[in-house]
Amino acid sequence: MAIDIQPLTPAIGAEIRGVDVARPLEVEEVTALRDALLAHQVLVFRDQHLTPESHIDFARHFGEIKPPPVATRHGGPPEINVLDQDDPRGEGADNWHADNTYTERPAMGSLLRVLKLPSGGGGDTAFASMGAAYDALSPPIRRLCDELTAVHDVTRSITRAIARGHSAANLAEVQKRLPPVEHPVVVVHPETGRRSLFVNVNSTTRIVGMSDEESRMLLQFLFEHVKQPEFQVRVRWDTETLVFLDNRCTQHYAVADYRKRRILHRVAIQGTRPRGLVRPAAASAG
């Protein structure tokens, strides 16, 4: 059966039909899916019957697996980050964010599947195009952002995870292993060449070269700007759905509207160091 691609919104998202991702794929199928990801940024596969092993195997078609930089304490194979929650309010996923931008080489993409849903429903995930967010800025703001770099730091997210019981990591050890890094505020997609905003409230702490007040004002503006519904698609989960997101040019938001257990598995694909119109320093001490 030919792969059928159905766009979900003008800005982002497509539903993919006619492919069983649990089986080994032909080269032509992988190429078609990669092209679809580049065009739509988020792919939704329905009616899939995956195991942890086939979830990992499917991800490997698109690159090297990126193990979780800070694994949760909920078990699972080392390639899978397990998010097991029953009251997710304030735990970080309910902020607009991209995955692991506090690392030198953030994930190229993430593949998400939900294994257990709250019995009363809820727990949708929204995704936003950071290319569309960049394009919607005025030309003077785009030119300003093109020239800037920002510091990304693991401290905020790991402190929250430890406090909420999702991680048994030692804060000082994690900070030593994952020191703050600098990435461009605007990145150039390595495959499409499209520019995207690359700051998020969970990891981005300051703009390099600005005063504290200037940095805070610009980041707050950008954090609010990316929330516009015109940039978004919202996915309703079931246990036979897989979502493949391009982490280089999207952010996502886990809707925290449930109070019963929800389990999600995430497999990430290793990316390259983000490239912008300016070249950031190798790292920053913050």
Annotated active-site residue 87? The verdict is no
Annotated active-site residue 143? The verdict is no
Give the whole-angstrom CA distance, residue 6 versus residue 195: 24
Which residue in 34, 40, 97, 265 is the catalytic one?
Answer: 97
Give the whole-angstrom CA distance, residue 69 versus residue 103: 8
Annotated active-site residue 189? The verdict is no
Give the whole-angstrom CA distance, residue 204 versus residue 181: 10
Give the whole-angstrom CA distance, residue 47 versus residue 240: 5
Q: Which of 154, 145, 117, 265 is nearest to 214 (CA)?
A: 145
Which residue in 55, 99, 246, 248 is the catalytic one?
Answer: 99
Annotated active-site residue 252? The verdict is yes
Q: Which residues are catalytic?
A: 97, 99, 252, 266
